[in-house]
Amino acid sequence: MSVRPLVIIPDSRLRLISEPLVRVDAKVRALVEDMFETMYDAPGIGLAAIQIGVPERVVTIDTAREGEERSPLALINPEIVTASEELSVYQEGCLSIPEYYEDVERPARVTVRFMDLNGEMQEIEADGLLATCVQHEIDHLNGVLFIDHISKLKRDRVVKRFTKVAKEKEREAGA
Ligand code: GNR
Ligand code: NI
């Protein structure tokens, strides 16, 4: 069990399409444990495996508030099967784009099909923050970031800022 380093933009791994899993074995369970540990440590309400550099279709979520009991949810190969026409707006953030927040509009309710840690198919209906979070995480599995849903002007500005920081860090490390 360990907290793993987070992959931050503009790292090109965040643009990979993650691979589906064929079965849930001990290796997948160990990955999920590391993902929960990393997500709670951050802290964040969701994490996709690619955010710790693993291009597999695995997501962890816990939208319980601080002080509330934990409600961990692990989704293997999650898929949206239905989405409401009604949209809702949430201010989103992403552990791969630290300390940047912007409003994003998405379907207000979704039905999600996935495999659980016992390898059994499950379906959940989500609304509110959970609906937003699960869509944000499934986007990660497809190489999509929440900044892809905002204006190009805002997106270019934030990518530029993180690119500059990454170059500075690289230079410090190399010097
Ligand atoms: O911690 C997170 N908070 C959040 C807030 C609003 C919408 C989505 C999210 S997910 C984010 C963690 C993350 O980057 N998951 O990929
Ligand atoms: Ni994210």
List, for residues 41-57, the tens digit of each pLDDT value: 999 999 999 999 999 99
Ligand 1 closest atom vs CA 137: 16
Residues recognised as catalytic: 137
pLDDT confidence band for 28 (50 / 70 / 90):
very high
Asked if residue 18 has its Cβ within 6 Å of ligand 1, the reply is no
Q: Which domains does the chain have, with CATH numbers?
A: 12-169 (3.90.45.10)
- Tell whether the model's pLDDT for residue 1 goes beyond 90: no
Name the residue with the closest Cα to ligand 1, atom 7.
92
- Percent pLDDT > 70 in the chain is 100
**DSSP codes, the chain:** --PPPPP-TT-GGGGSPPBPPS---HHHHHHHHHHHHHHHHTT-SEEEGGGGT--BSEEEE--PPTTSPP--EEEEEEEEEEE-S-EEEEEEEETTEEEEEEEEEEESEEEEEEE-TTS-EEEEEEEHHHHHHHHHHHHHHTT--GGGGS-HHHHHHHHHHHHHHHHHHHHHHH-
Note the ligand closest to the C-alpha atom of 132.
Answer: 1
Strand partners, 125: 111
Asked if residue 140 has its Cβ within 6 Å of ligand 1, the reply is yes
